[in-house]
Amino acid sequence: MPAADALSFLVQGEWVSGEDIARRQGISRAAVWKQIQALRRRGYKIASSTRRGYLLMEQPDRLDAARINKDLTTRWLGREILILAEASSTNSVAVSSIGQRKSGSVILAETQKEGRGRLSRSWASPPGGIWMSLIVRPDIPLSRIYRINMAATVSICRAIRQLGLEAGIKWPNDILIREHKVCGILIELGAQVDRLDYAVVGVGLNANNDTAAFPSQWRSTSLAARLGKSIDRCALIAAILNEMEQALDDIESHELYEEWRSRSLTLGKRVRISSPEGDLMGQVLDLDQDGALILEQGGDKRRILAGDCIHLRPERAAEAT
């Protein structure tokens, strides 16, 4: 059995009997010892005692499929996980291998060389973040594909709340904590004329990475910076996947739309929208069920389905009146 099997029985800060681990795996005590040694070589600090067993003292901040699986409760999402030390981008890896991947496959990388955001912008992907792509094939018409974005953004907000932080959604697909960006979503689609073949949901989440090196105009933050301590990335990934499966299973529900709308940080704001038709400025009156932003501009209402949104600060908002 792989060395990671013993990891599922270890609880940080608690002694666990080696005999119990062996019995539950159906292996010998010597085999358990080999697993423990392999875990130590991978950076896990584990104390041992002939009378008390094994004590997990510290886990490395390293992506580990076994640690993700330990907290995973999904039926189909994340049951195939590929972890890379480095990738051009996880979305690129997912798209290039889409024919060989099952629905629910997850691709993770410790770093990305060519991370991408919306509008082909570069996305900084230093160590310590969560750079992840999910391959999903929801049974929805092309007219409803924005629901995938709703499911993704709501799921990440739910998972972040489990850490004790409140995050909100900046239209169309950014996650903010107090107006500072902590996560971005990039969705790439494969479709026929009348149906969706697949969606690759790319997640770039600042977890334990140092955002001090990011340009100040990015207004970025990280979960570790907000909490004042590092987080367990593997546990958070599992939480995101657990929430994401539930949201994708409920993708057509009115409740999903209502939660997405209620978590919006853009609703009611004065904004500037950059779109192929040019820049538009106004106040956001509502968010429609197809993801459209309803903008009031000069007494007229406009539905905007895509664009780059900037929340205007009070001193700038007067320009939109």
Q: pLDDT, tens digit, for every residue of 82-134?
A: 999 999 899 999 999 999 999 999 999 999 886 555 545 555 678 899 999 99
Q: 142-189, pLDDT tens digit by residue?
A: 888 999 999 999 999 999 999 999 999 999 999 999 999 999 999 999
Which amino acid type is present at position 95?
Answer: V
Q: Alpha carbon of 292 to those of 18, 137, 167, 259: distances in Å?
A: 56, 22, 21, 15
Checking if the pLDDT of 248 tops 70, the result is yes
Please tell me the predicted confidence (pLDDT) of residue 123: 56
Confidence of residue 2 (pLDDT cuts 50, 70, 90): very low
What residues does each domain of the chain span?
3-58, 65-262, 270-320
Position 1 pLDDT exceeds 50: no
Q: Is-same-fold flag (65-262; 270-320)?
A: no
What 3-state class would DSSP assign to 301? strand
Instruction: Given CATH 3.30.300.20, say whether it is the number of domain 270-320.
Output: no
Confidence of residue 13 (pLDDT cuts 50, 70, 90): confident
In angstroms, the CA 106 to CA 86 distance is 15
Average pLDDT over residues 213-242: 90
Which residues does 315 contact at the CB level (< 8 Å), separation at least 6? none
Average pLDDT over residues 248-262: 96
Which pLDDT tens digit goes with each residue over 226-237? 999 999 999 999
How many C-beta atoms lie closer than 10 Å to residue 175's C-beta? 24
> What is the layout of strands, in order, in the sheet containing 308-311?
300-304, 293-297, 278-287, 270-275, 308-311
Give the per-residue pLDDT at 133. 98
Q: Which range, of 81-90, 210-219, 259-268, averages the lowest pLDDT?
A: 210-219
Q: Is the pTM above the cut of 0.85?
A: no
Q: Which residues contact 41 (CB under 8 A, 6 or more apart)?
A: none
Between strands 308-311 and 270-275, the pairing is antiparallel
Helix axis angle for 254-262 and 146-161, nearest 10°, is 60
What's the pLDDT at 192?
Answer: 83
77 versus 88: which is more confidently predicted?
Answer: 77
Q: Residue 271's closest CA among 308, 236, 228, 235?
A: 308
Q: Name the CATH superfamily for 65-262.
A: Bira Bifunctional Protein; Domain 2 (3.30.930.10)
**Which residues, at least 6 apart from 301, have a Cβ–Cβ distance to it below 8 Å?**
285, 294, 295
Q: Could you check whether the bond before residue 314 is cis, i.e. omega within 30 degrees of 0?
A: no
Please give the helix or strand (H or E) that residue 186 lies within, else none.
strand 180-191
Q: Name, in order, each residue with C-beta under 8 angstroms of 215's C-beta and a sequence gap of 6 or more.
A: none
Share of the chain above pLDDT 90, in %: 67
**Is domain 3-58 classified as CATH 3.30.1330.10?**
no
Alpha-carbon distances of 117 from 38, 121, 131, 209, 270, rounded to whole Å: 37, 5, 12, 17, 23
β-pair type (168-170, 174-177): antiparallel
Predicted confidence (pLDDT) per residue in 46-76, tens digit: 999 988 999 998 887 889 998 899 899 999 9
